[in-house]
Structure 1
Amino acid sequence: MTRDTRRGYAKGRAKRVEILDQAMAMFGEVGYRGASLRVIATRCGISHPGLLHHFPTKQSLLLAVLEHRDEVDGQWLALGGPTGVDGLRRLVDLAALNAERRGIVELFSVLAAEATSTDHPAHTYFVERYRTSVLTTAASYRKARDEGALRTGIAPDEAAQQLVALMDGLQIQWLISGCATDMAGVLRAHVQAQLTVAL
């Protein structure tokens, strides 16, 4: 492979990331249905056919944006393989991280609401994402219980559903309040009340 070829690949990858960033911003601003590929292309300084070279359909762009977000957050969440109390603490830390990323929180909140419709292109993605989120969170609660760190009467499966719902609800409150809601603080207090050890 020549240096020019490598430079071309690197330039193509950089443009792909720029498209994902601009699409993420626009999906967060106006939702998937309101977003225009032509406007995204203009924001990236390329033609509409140029954008279609990277992402042939709006649906493929949406799924790439969601996968990109999950890849970044998934690597961070899994760092060190935290489970039990450490896994629950990492979720609180994620809320603190999200408080610095309004655009991503807007994107997720808008698309999650839109995707409740079964004909939305991200419907299956969100069904699987919520299933996985609840399962992994329940596993952390079970390990905390097995380690004696979970208060008596807390059911791991129910607690996991409650925590995932609380996280999403807090994100909406945070957005509506102009970022005044302390997402991490509320989550920390909720989880701490379920534990017998310090979070």
Structure 2
Amino acid sequence: MSESTPNGERQPRTGKSLKAQQRRQEILQIAMDTFAARGYTGASLQEIADRAGVTQAGVLHYFRTKAHLLTSVLALRDETDIEQLGTERPRGLAFLRHLVDTVRHNTERQGIVRLYAVLAAESVIDGHPAQDYFRERYEGLRAMVTEALAEACELGETRPDLNLKDAANAIIAVMDGLQVQWLLAPDSVDMTAATDRVITALLADLTGKPT
């Protein structure tokens, strides 16, 4: 049975029992692994259902469409990031150092990193259901890093005559690019050390002195 939202859309009934909640989480985790391995277009509901030990109708009982399953997987990924960051992020240049810690943490969760890299690249396809998610995510990341750099200027940690958006774009590009290299050759690429090296060099440029 489905329930209606205020706009009239039919939503699947997920159930409130502990068993139903556990099954929903199991499907989410399996979908996360499957999307990470095959991308959204390469993964099928049938494969996810088979791995979860349910029918396609069983999957759709919890997630009304494949696209809804994808957005739920991405929401689960964001929850893990929020838990890591905590209620308050570091300010100024301390936030850039926090990014190195984030990369170090990501080396311990290869599946989530693969999911992000695969779907981010795939989302440039016209009509991809995750396109808006990644467009908004990158806008949010740029704003967050730019804000931290602006805070650094206010705190006297950096010179004020900087193009903060360019610096923010460069940091994000380095982090995402290293993820792809690390996924392809984890034994050859130390993305924590590489990120630290780049951010250290950037800080030296931002402050006008060795860091």
**Common fold by TM > 0.5:** yes
1:21-51 per-position Cα deviation (integer Å, ceiling 9, x unaligned): 1111011111100101111112112222111
For the residues of structure 2 that align with 1:33 and 1:43, how far apart are their CA atoms? 17
Two-structure CA RMSD over aligned residues (Å) = 2.1
Counterpart among 64, 73, 94 of residue 65 in structure 1: 73
Judging by fraction of residues, say which structure has more helix: 1
- Are 1:82 and 2:90 an aligned pair? yes
CA contact (8 A) 1:116 1:123 kept: yes
1:113-140 per-position Cα deviation (integer Å, ceiling 9, x unaligned): 1101231011111110000011001111
Secondary structure at the counterpart of residue 194 of structure 1: helix
For the residues of structure 2 that align with 1:150 and 1:193, how far apart are their CA atoms? 13
Amino acid aligned to 1:144: A
For the residues of structure 2 that align with 1:53 and 1:160, how far apart are their CA atoms? 41
- Are 1:139 and 2:147 an aligned pair? yes
Give identity over the alignment, percent: 41
**1:105 deviation in Å?**
1.2
- Are 1:26 and 2:34 an aligned pair? yes
Secondary structure at the counterpart of residue 38 of structure 2: helix
* Unpaired stretches in structure 1, ≥5 consecutive residues: 1-6
Secondary structure at the counterpart of residue 129 of structure 2: coil
Q: Which residue of 1 aligns with 2:164?
A: 156
Q: Which residue of 2 aligns with 1:4?
A: none
Counterpart among 177, 199, 210 of residue 191 in structure 1: 199
For the residues of structure 2 that align with 1:126 and 1:179, how far apart are their CA atoms? 28
1:33-182 pair list within 5 angstroms: 33-150=41-158, 154-182=162-190
Distance 1:55 1:15, change over 3 A: same
For the residues of structure 2 that align with 1:15 and 1:87, how far apart are their CA atoms? 37
CA contact (8 A) 1:115 1:122 kept: yes
Distance 1:62 1:70, change over 3 A: same
* Unpaired stretches in structure 2, ≥5 consecutive residues: 1-14
Distance 1:75 1:146, change over 3 A: same
Segments of 4+ in structure 1 off by > 3 A? 151-154, 196-199
Normalising by structure 2, what TM-score? 0.84
Moved more, 176-185 or 165-174: 176-185
For the residues of structure 1 that align with 2:178 and 2:160, how far apart are their CA atoms? 26
Normalising by structure 1, what TM-score? 0.89
**1:74 deviation in Å?**
2.2
> Which of structures 1 and 2 has the larger relative contact order (alpha carbons within 8 angstroms, sep 6+)?
1
